[in-house]
Structure 1
Amino acid sequence: MYLVELYIKIRRAVMVEGRSEREVARHFGIHRKTVKKMCQFAVPPGYRRKSAPVSPKLAAFTGIIDAILDADKQVHVKQRHTAKRILERLRDEHGFTGSYTIVRNYVYQAATRQKEMFIPLAHLPGHAQVDFGEADGYIGGKLVRFHYFCLDLPHSDGCFVKAYPTEDTESFLDGHVAAFVFLGGVPLSILYDNTKIAVAKILGDGKRERTKAFSELQSHYLFEDKFARPAKGNDKGNVEGMVGYSRRHFMVPLPIAADFDALNAKLLDGCIKRQQARLRGQTETIAERMKRDTAALMVLPATAFDACHKLSTRVSSLSLVRYRTNDYSVPTEYGHREVLVKGYVDHVDICLGADIIARHKRSYGREEFIYNPLHYLALLEQKPRALGQAAPLQDRMLPEVFDRLRRMMEERMERRGRKEYIQVLRLLENFSQAQVEHAIKQALHLGAISFDAIKHLILCALERRPAKLDLTLYPYLPRASVKPTEPRSYLSLLQMTQANQQAAKVHYD
């Protein structure tokens, strides 16, 4: 391409100085037709590619190519025809003899014609879009891949981001609850993709069958739901862009946090700081435009939504309930009962009717057993021989004083000692571990090694009264003195026994 400086010289020579195009071409060493073109344009027009006419060899096969490309719209994007594959089919199935280049050019032009065009949209205040993204980070010292809930307000470009270990029903519901609290209200409508968390089934007329959990969320907050077309991420382009923005700005470099609460504090701080930005094409900051968004929001309900995944199931014979591949314990008295499991982001509640019979920290592992040893102590008291192999007690790290008490009880009372030790463990059902530990230390010091003594010491500590196990507190009581027995004492005892026998015989005679 020739520079503008050359255009100036040639155009002046022809149009000002009146020299012929042939003379100017010879003088500057270029073709005469080039001189003629330069006289038509003040600046270089740039490269303009004309649509190449269809090759005569391909003209009879364009209908076949168009049919293949139309059929490709209905199949998986990774299984669509390439230009090379189309050429192979034309040769094998239709006797085509042309080259790859003319097929490739035609396919390129056809694909360009089929590209979708879009209309710029204006967004009214009070409406939102929701999506999930994923990123890596160091949580608790480990590199993990986490998911994050993202809500975007297209009118103001305000956002809310919160991270979770997984993308599931619990995090989906909890994300909405947290976002609504952050915004101080409920959006008029929310646009989603067709996530299975919200959409159970896409019906033939384009309507959606909602999941039970999503229907409960919508009924509680009364927002209008909208869904993008399948595989059309551009329908919710604002939140798609916000998912990428959050990853690039809030999570680069890889975030480092002690736990998810710490990570979410950082993400929330990033969302708030971003509100001071003034985006391209806007005269107001995000915070200024968010005022119109928040003014249009609906009022929050008086009570927060119970953001949990609910599952009805039955307690097993091992007093376990399965939830998300993991087993959680319940008290053995509820064995074989129908219960309701409520899975939250950070904990799991197991309910019988309106009562919570067990609560555990949520595990995100797989096929794990999460025990509360206290759930099994009542049954263990009935089956004391299982004490040494009871799995719920294997991982319970009790202070060394508990083991010392157990050894002493079993040495002194054997089987009865094992059962008394289990009774001591059952004190943990009503008292703290620190209280029981302190009482055991006192009992060992006083030599009062029994369940009754330890329980007595705990109650006395709570009631702030002296224990009745130390004889120094009762000086008026006589002291017992035990001396070694001498052999002659047995002789006198034997003589007394014989005399009594003789007296009894005379009496009966």
Structure 2
Amino acid sequence: MTEPPGYQRSGPPKRPKLDPFTGIIDHILDDDRTAHRKQRHTAKRIFERLRDEHGFTGGQTIVKDYVREQTRRRREMFVPLSHEPGQAQADFGEADVIIAGVTHRSHFFVMDFPHSDACFVVAYPAATTEAWLDGHNKAFAFFNGVPESILYDNDKCLVARILPDRTRQRTGAFSGLQSHYLFKDRYGRPGKGNDKGNVEGMVGYIRRNFMVPIPRFESWEAFNADLEARCLKRQDEVLRGHRESIRERFVRDSEVLSNLQPVPFDACDRQATRVNSQSLVRYQTNDYSVPVAYGHREVWVRGYVHEVVIGCASDEIARHPRSYDKQDLIFNPIHYLPLLEKKVGALDQAAPLVGWDLPEEFATLHRLLEARMGKSGKREYVQVLRLLETFDIEVLHNAIKDALRMGAIGYDAVKHLVLCRIERRPPRLDLNVYPFLPQAQVTTTSVTSYMSLLQKAGKVDRPNGDAVRSAP
């Protein structure tokens, strides 16, 4: 038996108080499309404007219902897309991570193949140019090939300018990467993240599934090893709407990937600059030391994700761990030793030596040399430290311990002992044969000597504890 039809509205509902103002609301909503998304009208704000500017006498609820309906109708619609094998998308996301007990805002590079949904992710302290380049190197190595094309947004690390004809002028670093691997680059519309919706969704998936709860690792290397393992494990999953696993579908992607280059791209940011009067080179707001011999000279800087390399002409002159702080000073104390040998008066206040973690025998040698020889002793200590320009600290440390044990306190003795260790021969350091070498004689203090010192001071203690001052 046929059921009777339900109630059907014959026309749109009548809203006598709101209908005269719907055109104004529509105009406000149309203008909001070009406004900053954080400065668009809320329903409450539209109601207030209708009331204050146009004399609206109705309630807020009816305005809110109308705005909700119009906003829904204005939402953009999308066409489902199919993706050919070998096409990739890349982007960066952000998430907090705890490295060695310190919370960092990590920036993770994601490369995704929409055809198979295979992904790769690697995290960095910052989304810099060198991070983009290094992320490509690691992703291509992970997938064992280079995609035919990669879709990006218009990140400033990749795109220097968008020309009037909508073509992109690439940055120098990204042009070098593309020329090295020979893939095609494609770009979404500015501000339209949905143009590369697959990788945008993958960024969110990785943040929710790989980084909740907040990851805790001892190093960035350990964190990235865990992320790579998760990417491999995910390839065994069968996603909704598919009968094959991600790994099985990626076979079709891998068949059209280009072969890797024999050598990966040199993933670094390159700059030219000059060494200042304090033998420092500025890179990304931080100052890094170089040997004082290169003061005031033109140098080049290569900024890698975890290192900063500085060179002059064809020579590498300094290599430092990368700092992501602001206005930081990164010293290598050895760079300043030749200058301290000349300006030995600055030894005790030299900032590059502050916090230099040397074994305690170094401080003992310094104290003995300075006590015996004064300013010349300071200079000999700097000369001993300069042996680190050639020899490992372990070899020098052992030589200093030998010198202290033998009582041979001097640069020549320490250098002789270092060479003996390097050449694996016994030292021939007979202090009777080399009388010019300073010797330290340490003996047990006798009671007689102690009493003599007190008598010279004019004061001797009696056995009962009373003090008697000697006659003048």
Q: TM-score range by the shorter chain?
A: 0.7 to 0.9
Which residue number in structure 2 is paired with residue 84 of structure 1? 44
How far did residue 471 of structure 1 move? 6.5
**C-alpha contact 1:156 1:290 (8 A) present in aligned 2:** yes
Residues 1:110 and 2:70 aligned together: yes
Residues 1:415 and 2:379 aligned together: no
Output the CA distance in 2 between the equivalents of 1:356 and 1:454.
29
Kindly provide the amino acid, as one letter, of the partner of residue 393 in structure 2. Answer: Q
Counterpart pick for 2:115 among 141, 144, 155 = 155
Counterpart pick for 2:130 among 159, 166, 170 = 170
Report which stretch shifted further, 242-251 or 52-61: 52-61
Kindly provide the amino acid, as one letter, of the partner of residue 429 in structure 2. Answer: L
Residues 1:39 and 2:3 aligned together: yes
Output the CA distance in 2 between the equivalents of 1:140 and 1:113.
50
Output the CA distance in 1 between the equivalents of 2:292 and 2:56.
77
How far did residue 56 of structure 1 move? 4.3
1:303-342 equivalences under 5 Å are: 303-342=263-302
Output the CA distance in 1 between the equivalents of 2:204 and 2:297.
47
Report which stretch shifted further, 86-95 or 370-379: 86-95
Output the CA distance in 2 between the equivalents of 1:203 and 1:84.
41
Residues 1:221 and 2:178 aligned together: no
Kindly provide the amino acid, as one letter, of the partner of residue 62 in structure 1. Answer: T
Report which stretch shifted further, 84-93 or 437-446: 84-93
**C-alpha contact 1:446 1:469 (8 A) present in aligned 2:** no
Which residue number in structure 2 is paired with residue 9 of structure 1? none
Output the CA distance in 1 between the equivalents of 2:20 and 2:363.
91
Kindly provide the amino acid, as one letter, of the partner of residue 41 in structure 2. Answer: H
Per-residue CA distance 1:15-48 (angstroms, 9 max, x = gap): 5xxxxxxxxxxxxxxxxxxxxxx8326xxx7x98
Output the CA distance in 2 between the equivalents of 1:50 and 1:79.
39
How far did residue 324 of structure 1 move? 2.1
Structure 1 segments of 4+ aligned residues over 6 angstroms from their partners: 47-51, 471-474
CA 1:334/1:473 → structure 2, altered by over 3 Å: closer, same or farther?
Answer: closer
Output the CA distance in 1 between the equivalents of 2:363 and 2:386.
15
Residues 1:231 and 2:191 aligned together: yes
Residues 1:404 and 2:364 aligned together: yes
Which residue number in structure 2 is paired with residue 462 of structure 1? 422
Q: Flag structure 2 segments of 5+ consecutive residues without an equivalent.
A: 435-472
SS at match of 1:133: strand
Please tell me whether Structure 1 or Structure 2 has the larger radius of gyration of its CA atoms: 1
% identical aligned pairs: 59
Kindly provide the amino acid, as one letter, of the partner of residue 131 in structure 1. Answer: D
Output the CA distance in 2 between the equivalents of 1:417 and 1:303.
51
How far did residue 175 of structure 1 move? 0.7
Output the CA distance in 2 between the equivalents of 1:363 and 1:299.
35
SS at match of 2:358: coil
Which residue number in structure 1 is paired with residue 445 of structure 2? none
Would you say how many aligned residue pairs link Structure 1 and Structure 2?
Answer: 434
Kindly provide the amino acid, as one letter, of the partner of residue 3 in structure 2. Answer: C
Kindly provide the amino acid, as one letter, of the partner of residue 84 in structure 2. Answer: L
Output the CA distance in 2 between the equivalents of 1:58 and 1:436.
89
How far did residue 409 of structure 1 move? 1.5
Q: Which has the higher helix share?
A: 1
Output the CA distance in 1 between the equivalents of 2:152 and 2:294.
41
Which residue number in structure 1 is paired with residue 28 of structure 2? 68
**C-alpha contact 1:127 1:155 (8 A) present in aligned 2:** yes
Q: Flag structure 1 segments of 5+ consecutive residues without an equivalent.
A: 1-14, 16-37, 475-509
Per-residue CA distance 1:400-421 (angstroms, 9 max, x = gap): 2111212221222222111111
Cα RMSD (Å) of the superposition?
2.3
Output the CA distance in 2 between the equivalents of 1:466 and 1:87.
94
CA 1:244/1:411 → structure 2, altered by over 3 Å: closer, same or farther?
Answer: same
Report which stretch shifted further, 195-204 or 233-242: 195-204
Which residue number in structure 1 is paired with residue 160 of structure 2? 200
TM-score by length of 2: 0.86
Output the CA distance in 2 between the equivalents of 1:118 and 1:402.
71
Counterpart pick for 2:213 among 253, 272, 275 = 253
SS at match of 1:278: coil
Kindly provide the amino acid, as one letter, of the partner of residue 326 in structure 1. Answer: N
How far did residue 96 of structure 1 move? 4.0
How far did residue 60 of structure 1 move? 4.1
Output the CA distance in 1 between the equivalents of 2:19 and 2:101.
64
